[in-house]
Structure 1
Amino acid sequence: MVAKIKSGKSLIGALNYNENKVKQQKAALIEAAKYFKDKDELSFNDKLFRLTDLAGMNQRSKTNTVHISLNFPNGENLADETLREIVKDYLQGVGFETQPYLVYRHEDAGHPHIHIVTTNIKRDGERISLHYLGQNESEKTRKAIEIKYGLTKAEEQPSQKPNLKAEISPAEYGKAETKRAITNVLGFVLRAYKFTSVPELNAVLQQYNIQADRGSKDSRMYAREGLVYWILDKQGNKIGVPIKASTLYGKPTLITLEDKFRLNTHLRKPFKEGLIKILDEVLAKPQTRRSFQSALRAEGIQSILRQNDEGRIYGVTFIDQKNKAVFNGSDLGKTYSANQFSAQLLPDPVNIRKPGLNASADNAQSHASTSGEGLVDILFAPAREDMAALNKFKKKKRKGLNL
């Protein structure tokens, strides 16, 4: 058994996380200890207020939320009754035996695990110390429980790598409460991926229809290092209202992210050479933008090419989905910076409609272009170039006439 303890300042955030899993049928509430109703009769407010009432007994303590996960190896599928007994023994061992708590069995990962939500503020306002709780009391209790229940010891558990991307789905505006949807996506992405800047974070978040936004560089929000999060529609446009980072569970503010950026700079290093090797192998053959992206997808690499209105690539980001590592092209070397990288790619072939070609098939081909250039744009490109040249000539003529 592996125990992980996370403390925080938002009881509603921890509760929302688990309750949303229940709504998605990815979790189930299996225990509500020291509550005044049966677990099946509890409303969301019943669950929350029992904990916040206690937390309110100590106004000075900012940390009042304890969110614990107990993880078991594949194949160790324990009955709910056994899990309840394990939780009871564990909380007694770490000094939480007098606290009310909720237990959720989760089924959204590659291994069995449960989540416990409680508070470290007692009825008399005394705070249960969390200092070294994980490496002292928790470790001793965990080992005793493994022996008592005949569980696989943590040291003997094989490394388990669940399919993290399968844990969440892209946010969909209107399907769930905006704040909750953003919290779920952020919780997963911040835990799973290794990125070192806001643009790299957005490269990942946009897979899930979320965007982190600092505002324009001349805005007050940018000057004050503020950060908000948006839900995006299917076209990548912001929709609804933005949510302040400081109001989300875990407070993923810019200051918090910058700490993570520094850590991720080191965590992603082992995957840099492997990514470069894959890029070199793919670029060893002549590639168009579409064929290049397709070849990388086959290797588990997602490439995001940022282009201006003229179709020139000004930025490139690579997401190693297997290792959850994100790299800006220039971080891999000059060869992969936007300018040099773009020069290595051949233009994509132009699809011209042939007589008798099915119209729907033609539309599908034109919309499949990853360069963002439609068939109409391609067909009229020569004419537009002629017009541009004519306008340039007229400007020179006016200048010569001092107009």
Structure 2
Amino acid sequence: MVAIIKTGHSIHRIFNYNENKVKDGVAQCIGEGNYPVDLENLTLPMKLNRLLKQAELNENCKRNSVHISLNFAPSETNLSKEKMTDIAHEYMERIGFGSQPYLVYQHYDAGHPHIHIITTNIQNNTSRIDLHHLGIRKSEPARKAIEEKYGLVIAEGRNNNQNNKLEPIPLGKVNYGKIQSKKAIANVLNQILTNYNFTSLKELNAVLNQYNVLADRGSENSRVFKANGMVYRILDQAGNPTGVPIKASDFYNRPTMKFLEEIFQENAKKRTPFKSRIKNATDKILTNSGVSIDEFIKLMSKQGIAVLKRTSEDGRLYGITYVDHTSKCVFNGSDLGKNYSAKAILERCTAKDNRATEQICKKEPETEIPTDRNAAPLTQPVPDTNAVSDTSITEDKGLIDTLFEIENASDFIPNQLRRKKKRRKRRRRDNNNNF
């Protein structure tokens, strides 16, 4: 069994998420805890108001919602609703939420059995249950005890038995029309917003676009932009938006612009230690071999780093974004330093190409065919190699002398050094005159 605990600011949000699943026919409310009425007699307002009234006992606590999911192995399909409800009750008791009001939902939209529990951490005496390290302090011991008591697949040992391995839903590109748009976008958002560190909307889109998803604020004159709103759209194979846009507030985690701005500030500190990985990979590729910009992008992708070019309508490169899928960090080129901006990377790649071109141009005069009209034609037979002429020896000797000729370095002596020498000579003359 795998337990996942998420805390939030809104009881409404987690309640609507589960009830919308019920409306869609992919979930069912199978249990309740500490409600004055049995589950069969509970209405939607009664379910919600019980949690809201409890949370209102302490209005100073902003993070008052708790959303827990208990995930079982795919092989445990024989778990009945009653047994899942018993597991939920015992789990809540062991983590210190046994006296709290809570609802239990069974979901059917994944490849493994799992239940969701929604509750609040505000107690009857207005104090709040400490959520700090709740997973380590309470959840882990409770999980192990429940696994042993109910004979469940042990979470630590699931790698030893591939048949019992709990696989997450694979994250792939979204294809419009093949899956419900909202569900497909939500799956991508849940993975990206949780795991990647980005500090701007452009950096977020750098990751989302790789999965055919776009976070769109609209134009500056649009109603969505002026209201600081946000919509999410699916991109087609050409990178153009397709389908109906979905408002950010319609998703469970509500990834609105205000929500993202809070994440931007948190991620700015988290991603700092991972700058060196991208910089080292870039320097290694551009230092050891002369590569073009496209070859550079391919070599970086082998290191798990996607380099995304931002070009203007006329095809001019004006920006680069690095997406490190290993450290899950996103950086604009300028954030790493001047040497890693779009202009610098292009110059570093072009500089190597220019050096190679210069070397070729320098070699051409040495092998150039003589323009003398009296010179032998190209179709003339090749002379005997055993016969060495004095002329060839002289030419070879001249070439060797040219290659090993010592350059006159006097022009490279700084003027200040030459002045010092003159001053010293003058001082010596003055001293001789004194004697």
- Residue 321 (structure 1) aligned with residue 325 (structure 2): yes
Amino acid of the structure 1 residue aligned with 2:5: K
> 1:211 deviation in Å?
0.6
Amino acid of the structure 2 residue aligned with 1:184: N
Question: Which sits farther off after the overlay, 79-88 or 236-245?
Answer: 79-88
Amino acid of the structure 2 residue aligned with 1:143: P
Report the RMSD for the aligned CA atoms in angstroms: 4.6
Corresponding residue number in structure 2 for 1:203? 206
Give the Cα–Cα distance (whole angstroms) in 1 for the partners of residues 167 and 18 of structure 2: 19
Change (3 A) 1:86 1:106: farther
Corresponding residue number in structure 1 for 2:219? 216
Amino acid of the structure 2 residue aligned with 1:242: P
> 1:80 deviation in Å?
5.7
Question: Which sits farther off after the overlay, 263-272 or 179-188?
Answer: 179-188
Residue aligned with 1:345, SS: helix
Corresponding residue number in structure 2 for 1:116? 116
Give the Cα–Cα distance (whole angstroms) in 2 for the partners of residues 267 and 317 of structure 1: 18
For CA contacts below 8 A with separation 6 or more, give which structure has more relative contact order: 1
> Which runs of no fewer than 5 residues in structure 2 stay unpaired?
34-38, 57-62, 160-164, 354-435
Give the Cα–Cα distance (whole angstroms) in 2 for the partners of residues 189 and 316 of structure 1: 20
Q: Is this contact kept in 2: 1:58–1:121, CA < 8 A? A: no
Corresponding residue number in structure 2 for 1:32? 30
How many equivalent pairs are there?
320
Give the Cα–Cα distance (whole angstroms) in 1 for the partners of residues 158 and 78 of structure 2: 21
> 1:302 deviation in Å?
0.7
> 1:183 deviation in Å?
1.9
Residue aligned with 2:93, SS: helix
Corresponding residue number in structure 2 for 1:143? 141
Corresponding residue number in structure 2 for 1:243? 246
Give the Cα–Cα distance (whole angstroms) in 2 for the partners of residues 344 and 100 of structure 1: 60
Give the Cα–Cα distance (whole angstroms) in 1 for the partners of residues 31 and 23 of structure 2: 16
Task: Spell out, residue by residue over 1:250-302, the C-alpha distance to the aligned partner (whole angstroms, 9 max, x if none).
Answer: 11111111111111111112211011000111112212222111111111111
Q: Is this contact kept in 2: 1:315–1:329, CA < 8 A? A: yes
> 1:321 deviation in Å?
0.9
Residue aligned with 2:210, SS: helix
- Residue 309 (structure 1) aligned with residue 313 (structure 2): yes
Q: Is this contact kept in 2: 1:171–1:182, CA < 8 A? A: yes
Question: Which sits farther off after the overlay, 58-67 or 249-258?
Answer: 58-67
Q: Is this contact kept in 2: 1:34–1:99, CA < 8 A? A: yes
Which of 38, 55, 70 is the equivalent residue of 2:48? 55
Q: Is this contact kept in 2: 1:30–1:80, CA < 8 A? A: no
Q: Is this contact kept in 1: 2:7–2:64, CA < 8 A? A: no
- The normalised TM-score by structure 2 is 0.60
> 1:173 deviation in Å?
1.9
Amino acid of the structure 2 residue aligned with 1:54: K
Give the Cα–Cα distance (whole angstroms) in 2 for the partners of residues 81 and 315 of structure 1: 53
Give the Cα–Cα distance (whole angstroms) in 2 for the partners of residues 300 and 289 of structure 1: 17
Q: Is this contact kept in 2: 1:14–1:249, CA < 8 A? A: no
> Which runs of no fewer than 5 residues in structure 1 stay unpaired?
24-28, 36-45, 350-403
> 1:145 deviation in Å?
4.9
> 1:240 deviation in Å?
1.8
Task: Spell out, residue by residue over 1:97-145, the C-alpha distance to the aligned partner (whole angstroms, 9 max, x if none).
Answer: 864412459977xxx99452435599xxx99986424656993464255
Change (3 A) 1:54 1:2: closer
Q: Which has the larger radius of gyration?
A: 2
Corresponding residue number in structure 2 for 1:68? 68
Give the % identical residues.
Answer: 32
Amino acid of the structure 2 residue aligned with 1:6: T
Residue aligned with 2:173, SS: coil
Give the Cα–Cα distance (whole angstroms) in 1 for the partners of residues 157 and 45 of structure 2: 38
- The normalised TM-score by structure 1 is 0.64
Residue aligned with 2:282, SS: helix
Q: Is this contact kept in 1: 2:234–2:243, CA < 8 A? A: yes
Corresponding residue number in structure 1 for 2:346? 342
Which of 287, 297, 304 is the equivalent residue of 2:301? 297
Residue aligned with 1:226, SS: coil
Give the Cα–Cα distance (whole angstroms) in 1 for the partners of residues 334 and 340 of structure 2: 6
Residue aligned with 1:327, SS: strand
Which of 269, 274, 286 is the equivalent residue of 2:272? 269
